[in-house]
Structure 1
Amino acid sequence: MFALPLGHTARLRPLEPWHAQEFLAHIDRARPSVDPWIPWATLSTGLASATAVLQRYADKQAEDSARIYGIWLDGTLVGGVMFTRFDRASGVCEIGCWLEAAGEGRGLVTRACRALIDWAFTERGMNRVEWWASAGNTRSTEVARRLGMTRDGVLRQRFPHQGVRHDSEVWSVLAGEWPPGGAGPVEGEPVSDVKAELDRLMHAFLGAFATIGGSRPNLHVVREVFIPQGTIVSNVGDEPVIYDLDSFIEPREKLLTDGTVTEFSEWEVAERTEIFGSVAHRFSEYRKSGVLDGKWFEGSGRKTTQFLRTPVGWRMSSMAWDDEK
């Protein structure tokens, strides 16, 4: 029985039919956060149905068409990842995930998915890994961004769930694009608390502008992640444009709420972070996409961000960016 470390006390292991009782107890805890988006939890409401779900994956693994793995934190099953579809002939597979509240905020799903993607490309020679998510499931699409995937498009009202038809977002990463930002964590290496906090700040900053699936931007977050004297610089033209927080937020809030820009999202695909005492620096590669004046657009670029440790925790102090031409 293998167990892949995902941190100090987290492990990724095969999830098999003999885990059915433990799996059912976990799904009962996870149901409130999982069931609104996918029919996963509704398939496991008793021991017989939970066993049937895991047996179905065991049968599919024997056919080399799907696989399922659990994430254990401090010895308790808190979530999992799976190949929902694995087609060696076409070189295309699909991965998915789920997680209960006790496992959130630790990067467990992202690290577990990296392990699956790496195995699919390096061991099995797959060419394309896909990620399908309900358009309103921002937690799922945020994982796809962190994995360096590209948003291929939206299938409108693709499937019904709980009496509502949901749009499906399709994301993917290709073998030639992997790994997007270098290798993942070294096996057994502790995850830095400071690094995790800087990751959270960057994730919150980029997520403040998202308007996917009808969501509204939340630009007050920019003030929360920056020191009050923060500076943001656009260096995409002939001369740099320097903003304080108010002058940066105001025009972008207007564009994202008056219909000029819709379905917007921006995400990191690679980063390099250096920490020294109470200061830190991060160099990021990012992608962005959305609809501008009714036309779809995509872009990418680089950001450099400085951080300070303050009496209330780590905060951004300055940021500068340049878009790829």
Structure 2
Amino acid sequence: MFTLPLGDHAQLRPLEPWQAPEFLAHIDRARVSVDPWIPWATFSTDLDSATATLQRYADRLAQDAGRIYGIWLDGTLVGGVMFTRFDSASGVCEIGCWLEQAGEGKGLVTQACRMLIDWAFQERGMSRVEWWVAAGNTRSIDVARRLGMTRDGVLRQHSSYRGTRHDSEVWSVLSQEWPSPSLGDVSGSRVQAELDRLMGVFMGAFNNTGGGRPELGVIRDVFIPQGRIIANVEDEPVIYDLDAFIEPRQKMLTDGTLTEFREWEVAERTEIFGSIAHRFSEYRKSGFHHGEWFEGSGRKTTQFLRTPSGWRMSSMAWDDVPATVTE
């Protein structure tokens, strides 16, 4: 069995029918957050049905029509990614993902999906990778954006779930749009994936949509202890150490000041120079501030260092475009 690393404590590997007990325990933990978006979770309610779910993907694998992989974090199954549809004749496939709360905010799904897309394009010669998602599934849409996909359109009331019709968004990326590292750039590709993960953890830390409780303490895990974060949105820059940055934002995101808030990267350019790296990002954000809906955007510049504990952020500065409030 192959195992691919997803950072220091996570792994991607095949998910097979014999793992049904572990899969069922995971789905039970994830059911509340996963079930609205992945209907087969509804049908994995006991050992027999969980086994049947995994067997369907084993059958698709045998037919070269689909595949499923689990994500393990510190030895515990916390989510996964899959080819829900794989058609080598047409050169088109579809990928999907799911994750329980314990795996959120670490960039695991994005990194795992990159591996699937790399394999589809580079090893199998596919032409197009699709991402189908319910219009209200903001977390999944954010992943599509981070993967550099383009939204092709919306299929109105395309699917029915529990008696309700839902719009479906279709996102895609084409083989000619996907970066293809040279043979000598394998290590650079791995560094890029790790920097993507760190940025995913940072951006995901602020998300409190759906009643979730953010824990900004994870920012300390992606920064060096001496890290600095700089707001350059007024006449004078405001420079924070990690504690000064985290504490007031943790309060705003948990005391009702900011609700249904999320922030996501929409574009990035990363340059790696040996043991240092730089990333320029464009991002968007939205939520309710004191009950008023707002949307905003901005730019970040982030510096990274390779340390004995792995890659970490050393500093970040941002400049916001003024937010718009919708009454």
TM-score range, shorter chain: 0.5 to 0.7
Provide, for residues 236-290 of structure 1, a one-character-per-residue CA deviation record: whole Å limited to 9, x for no partner.
xxxxxx9999xxxxxxxxxxxxxxxxxxx98434331679xxxx95323789xxx
Give the equivalent residue in structure 1 for 2:139.
Answer: 139
Query: Structure 1 residues 171, 306: closer, same or farther in 2, change over 3 A?
Result: same
Say whether 1:10 aligns with 2:4.
Answer: no
Q: In 2, Cα distance between the equivalents of 1:128 and 1:195?
A: 22
TM-score relative to the length of structure 2: 0.66
Q: Residues 108 and 197 of structure 2 are in contact (CA less than 8 Å); yes or no, is this contact kept in structure 1?
A: no
Give the equivalent residue in structure 2 for 1:283.
Answer: 280
Counting aligned pairs with the same residue, the percent is: 62
Q: In 2, Cα distance between the equivalents of 1:180 and 1:143?
A: 20
Q: Residues 266 and 281 of structure 2 are in contact (CA less than 8 Å); yes or no, is this contact kept in structure 1?
A: yes
Displacement of 1:188: 7.9
Query: Structure 1 residues 319, 163: closer, same or farther in 2, change over 3 A?
Result: same
Displacement of 1:103: 0.9
Provide, for residues 6-65 of structure 1, a one-character-per-residue CA deviation record: whole Å limited to 9, x for no partner.
111211111111111111111111101101222121020111111111111111111101
Runs of 5+ unmatched residues, structure 1: 216-225, 233-241, 246-264, 288-301
Give the equivalent residue in structure 2 for 1:305.
Answer: 301
Give the equivalent residue in structure 1 for 2:167.
Answer: 167
1:254-293 equivalences under 5 Å are 267-272=265-270, 282-284=279-281
1:1-325 equivalences under 5 Å are 1-179=1-179, 198-200=199-201, 230-231=232-233, 267-272=265-270, 282-284=279-281, 305=301, 317-319=317-319
Provide, for residues 129-177 of structure 1, a one-character-per-residue CA deviation record: whole Å limited to 9, x for no partner.
0000111111101111111111111111111112321111100000001
TM-score relative to the length of structure 1: 0.66
Q: Matched residue of 1:272: which SS?
A: strand
In structure 2, give the amino acid aligned to 1:85. R
Q: In 2, Cα distance between the equivalents of 1:230 and 1:180?
A: 35
Query: Structure 1 residues 315, 190: closer, same or farther in 2, change over 3 A?
Result: closer
Q: In 2, Cα distance between the equivalents of 1:190 and 1:179?
A: 11
Query: Structure 1 residues 93, 68: closer, same or farther in 2, change over 3 A?
Result: same
Query: Structure 1 residues 64, 269: closer, same or farther in 2, change over 3 A?
Result: farther
Query: Structure 1 residues 89, 285: closer, same or farther in 2, change over 3 A?
Result: farther
In structure 2, give the amino acid aligned to 1:305. T
Q: Matched residue of 1:43: which SS?
A: coil
Runs of 5+ unmatched residues, structure 2: 211-227, 239-262, 285-297, 305-312, 322-327
In structure 1, give the amino acid aligned to 2:301. T
Q: In 2, Cα distance between the equivalents of 1:84 and 1:195?
A: 24
Query: Structure 1 residues 155, 272: closer, same or farther in 2, change over 3 A?
Result: same
In structure 1, give the amino acid aligned to 2:62. A
Moved over 4 A (4+): 180-192, 194-205, 226-229, 242-245, 313-316
Q: In 2, Cα distance between the equivalents of 1:201 and 1:106?
A: 8
Displacement of 1:95: 0.2
Q: Matched residue of 1:40: which SS?
A: helix
Aligned length: 260
Query: Structure 1 residues 108, 61: closer, same or farther in 2, change over 3 A?
Result: same
Displacement of 1:94: 0.1
Q: Residues 23 and 50 of structure 1 are in contact (CA less than 8 Å); yes or no, is this contact kept in structure 2?
A: yes
Query: Structure 1 residues 203, 23: closer, same or farther in 2, change over 3 A?
Result: closer
